Every structure is written in C-alpha cells, then in structure tokens.
Amino acid sequence: MDQHVKPRKPVILLNIDSLMPEPLEIAVQTGRAPALKFLMENGSYISNMVSSFPTMSVTIDSSLLTGTYADKHQIPGLNWFDDSKNEIINYGTGFRETNKSGLRKTVHNMLYRLNNEHLSSHVRTIYEELADRGIQSASINSFVYRGNTPQKLQVPGLLRGLTRFKDGQWTAEATSVFSLGVFSKLRKRSVATQIAAGNYKYTARELRHLIRRNRLPGFTFCIFQDLDFRIHFKGPMDIKGIAKIDRQIQKTLNLYPSWEEALRRNIWMVMGDNGHAPMGSRYRDFMIDLRKILKKYRVARIQRPIRKKDQIVLSVNQRMAYIYLLDEALPLSALTEKLKKDSRIDIIASKTEHGVHIESGTRTGSLHYSPGGKYSDMYEQTWHLNGKPNLLDLTLASDNKISYGDYPDGLARIYGALYSQPGRFIVVNAKPGCEFKAQSTPFHLGGAAHGSLHKQESLVPVVIAGTAIKPKHPRLVDMKSFLLGLLDH
C-alpha cells in the first residue's frame, strides 16, 4: 500500500519481559528508574493486568497481538505436542535454554513455524488489522511477528546450517518495519551481540534509529528480553535489570526536545508479560518429577520420534505442564488419580464434551464448567458452574457474580489452554514454590519460575502515557482492541 494513514499520535509499546509491579515500584520510588517514573507520573499505572496462560512468552505475545487466548490463537505454550503431526514442539527460550541437538529444530520452530504454521489463520494480529486500515507497524525483537509485508530473514554465517532453508534465507509475512536480532536488521551494518533476545541495548538502538530517521510508523512494538534471564537465577527482586533498561528509555526520550514533547508527539506504553514465582531450594520438596508420578506408563523420549508403544508425552512449561495421552486404552481418570496424590499440584484440568473438569491435589471434590450460563465475571464472560468453586478459588455472590482469588480470569485462561489444540491431554498447575520436571527441562531451584495460572505470575504492570484512555478491562487480551481504538482516530 502506498498511501499510509498517519495516526494523530503514533503508539510505542515497550514490553519489558518479566517486569513485575513490586520491583518496578521500588525502582521508581528509589530513583533508579527516572524514565519509567516520568511516564508513570504523567500517565496512568495499572499494577494488575492479567496475563495469558500458560504464562510463557510465546503464548502471551500471541494473546497480546491477536487479542485472544490460546483456544483461538492456538499457541499452547513454549513446549507442546502436535497431535496431528505426532511431533514434540519446542520454541526454545530466546535460544539460551536450548541444547545443541535441539537447536536446529528450535530455530526452525521459533522463527518460521510459530508464525507461518502454528499461529491460527482464523485470528488476525494487530499488525494485519492496522495494515488493512493503511496504518504501518514496526516489530522489534519479537518472535511473534505475523503481518502482511513480505520480509527477508537471513541467518548469518555459521548458523546457516541450523535452518532448513537454502542459503539460510527465507521470506516471511511480517510488519513493514521489522527487526529481529541477527535475522533482520534496520541498521544494515549494525552488529547484533546476541543471536536474538538478551540484547536490550541493541533493541533500543533499533528503536532510536526509527525515531531519528523519522520512520516511526503508527504502531511500534518493541520487546526487551533481558530481565527474564536474570530473574530466573537472581529471584524476583532484581532492580538492577530494570535500571539498565530504564537508561535506554531515557536515551530514547532524550531524542525529543523534552520528555514532555515526547509525550505530546507519541503515546508511550510500558508493560510486563509475566511475573515470576520464587522457587523453593530443596529439590525433593519443590521439583515435581512427572516421570516419577507417572512411572507406570511409557513416556515418549524427546530426542527420538514418537513410537507406537509410547503411552504419554510430557510437555513442561516450568510451573505448568501438558500431559498427552497417546494410548487410547488409557483413561484420563487413571492419570488424574495419580496426579491427585501429589499435594504440590493445585490444579488438574481436562476437557469434557463442551467444558472443563477440574480436580486438585490440594483440595477435595471437583468442579465442572463451560461457557454460557447464569454466572458472570467482571470481564462480561458467562459460565455454567457445577461442583466446588473453591477448586479455582472462586467466590460466588448472591447475584451470581463470580470473583477470582488466586487465579485471575482463571476460567477463561484454563479453557484457553485446554482448547488450544485437539487431542486428549491434561493440564497441571504447580502450587507456589514448586515446578514441574520431565526429561531435560531447565529448572530454577532457589531462583524464580513462571508458567502457572497463579496471580504471582499472572498480574503484570502497565504504564500508559500520552493519553488518558485506559483499556476496558485490565487484561492483556484486551490490549489489542484498546490499541486499535487509540490508533483509529
């Protein structure tokens, strides 16, 4: 499209991976994050925006960019099993937690299949919708990037052998302004210090390049992926990481005659994607080894193709896991009974005909729910509920209003994970302090982890400056329609 529509105020959305409300507030109050402080004081601050489920970056970014949960966008997690192709899918975590043998596959999954095969064609990204209206977008450092401008991605030198593309080069439909680590750069001669992710300075330079050249499109989405890695090892209260990224935001705001002028010209938003839960440090107490609990069954091994005699597949996403049943003779209830004996598993969820069945290792009884029905929550969703609401820490008022406790927007988020793909499987959620383990999954004893439905990982901060408008509900899944509304006039 040649005719570009310029919105009155371009929107710049900065996603700081693993930014959490408490450390952010401390960083701001102690003078270590002056740029974030300025944006907060001159805008609005929401400390409890609800993230997606599992609380893993690819699922969250897909929710943010499509405005749907996993039942619609169909990215079940960082790790999942594709029943239709009989294949274990792993997107890696920014190429840092991937072992060598899996790297080739991970690069292909993360850079190509996620956007081109797995992300449902029935949903539209904000980039696709904005392009329809003639508004251009920029995506900087995001692994979820589907748009409708063909962009060349190039895998450099030594890494070329890791892809399944001839000469390590391929074309993908992306945003019209597109930057992703070494694979696609805005400044052609720049040197990315990391393959992708873990390069906040590089990411910020790409953003500043757009501002300097006056190339900022209507909507810019930019991810800083450095904090996550630090927090997994250092624990949730890492202020230093926030201060470092804040310095980059300061430099960006400094490109304008004044910070106030930056706000007059653009809408600036800063958000987190998931929180972290501090992990216990005793292996025996806090690591839930699913292979041990389900030792009676033959578990598929990740380094080889699925075999006929394999009965189950385990896909661990830190504090949540998918347990797939390949053996048709094996009833779901047999596995649920075993899982229920472990008091570190607080939610055990499976599909029923149209709904969801919940059991627990920490609470007795069961809960069944499905969409529609006489109960409603604060997000205007309605539900049929049967059984014990305390299994999901729900409170029911006399007017049939549901309120959520430990699991924000829990009904829709569990439903999203369970209906993210066809097939027979169970979703398990770990109680605070605990984490799942299967074959060669990374774990974080004494550090921090995420993935679960619990509020400590699910509530993230968002700062909105340059407009007085706020999202209808503080949910990440409502951000897309909020952004479209801002860009429409």
Contact set with Zn ion (CB under 5 A) = 228
> In the numeric block, which tokens belong to residue 170?
């391929």
80 CA to centre of own chain: 14
Is 288 or 367 the residue whose CB approaches Zn ion more closely? 288
> What minimum distance in Å lies between the beta carbon of 450 and Zn ion?
6
Cα–Cα distance measured from residue 466 to residue 43, given in angstroms and rounded to the nearest whole number = 7
Return the closest-CA partner of residue 245 out of 213, 215, 272, 274.
Answer: 272
Tell me the CA end-to-end span of the chain in Å, nearest whole number.
Answer: 20
> What minimum distance in Å lies between the beta carbon of 197 and Zn ion?
11
> What minimum distance in Å lies between the beta carbon of 232 and Zn ion?
6
Residue 131 CB-density burial (10 A; 0-12 exposed, 13-18 middle, 19+ buried): buried
> What minimum distance in Å lies between the beta carbon of 91 and Zn ion?
12
> What minimum distance in Å lies between the beta carbon of 211 and Zn ion?
29
Is 278 or 373 the residue whose CB approaches Zn ion more closely? 278
Cα–Cα distance measured from residue 466 to residue 475, given in angstroms and rounded to the nearest whole number = 20
Is 53 or 127 the residue whose CB approaches Zn ion more closely? 53
Torsion angle (degrees, nearest 10) of CA 309, 311, 317, 318: -100
Is 18 or 350 the residue whose CB approaches Zn ion more closely? 18
Which are the contacts of 237, defined by CB distance < 8 A and separation ≥ 6? Answer: 22, 23, 26
> What minimum distance in Å lies between the beta carbon of 274 and Zn ion?
7
Is 10 or 236 the residue whose CB approaches Zn ion more closely? 236
Residue 225 CB-density burial (10 A; 0-12 exposed, 13-18 middle, 19+ buried): buried
Is 228 or 310 the residue whose CB approaches Zn ion more closely? 228
Is 135 or 320 the residue whose CB approaches Zn ion more closely? 320
Cα–Cα distance measured from residue 283 to residue 265, given in angstroms and rounded to the nearest whole number = 52
> What minimum distance in Å lies between the beta carbon of 187 and Zn ion?
28
> What minimum distance in Å lies between the beta carbon of 112 and Zn ion?
22
> What minimum distance in Å lies between the beta carbon of 448 and Zn ion?
8
List of long-range contacts for 149-153, beta carbons under 8 Å, 24+ apart: 149/173, 149/174, 149/175, 149/176, 149/178, 150/174, 151/175, 151/178, 151/184, 152/184, 153/111, 153/180, 153/183, 153/184
Is 228 or 238 the residue whose CB approaches Zn ion more closely? 228
Is 228 or 359 the residue whose CB approaches Zn ion more closely? 228
- 421 three-state secondary structure: coil
Name the phi and psi angles at 120, rounded to 5: -55, 140
Is 228 or 246 the residue whose CB approaches Zn ion more closely? 228
DSSP state letters, 269-282: EEE-S---EEPPS-
DSSP state letters, 318-376: TTEEEEEE--TTS-HHHHHHHHHT-TTEEEEEEE-SSSEEEE-SSS-S-EEEEEEEEEE
> What minimum distance in Å lies between the beta carbon of 53 and Zn ion?
15
> What minimum distance in Å lies between the beta carbon of 322 and Zn ion?
17
> What minimum distance in Å lies between the beta carbon of 335 and Zn ion?
27
Is 230 or 413 the residue whose CB approaches Zn ion more closely? 230
- Are 385 and 370 within 8 A, CB to CB? no
**Which single residue is written with the structure tokens 């998918």?**
322
CB atoms within 10 A of CB 213: 10
CA distances from 273 to 16, 87, 283 (A): 7, 28, 27
> In the numeric block, which tokens belong to residue 22?
């408490």
Which residue is at the shortest CB distance from Zn ion?
Answer: 228
> What minimum distance in Å lies between the beta carbon of 229 and Zn ion?
7
- Are 243 and 250 within 8 A, CB to CB? no
Is 279 or 464 the residue whose CB approaches Zn ion more closely? 279
Is 355 or 432 the residue whose CB approaches Zn ion more closely? 432
Cα–Cα distance measured from residue 302 to residue 440, given in angstroms and rounded to the nearest whole number = 9
Name the phi and psi angles at 41, rounded to 5: -70, -25
DSSP state of 257: S
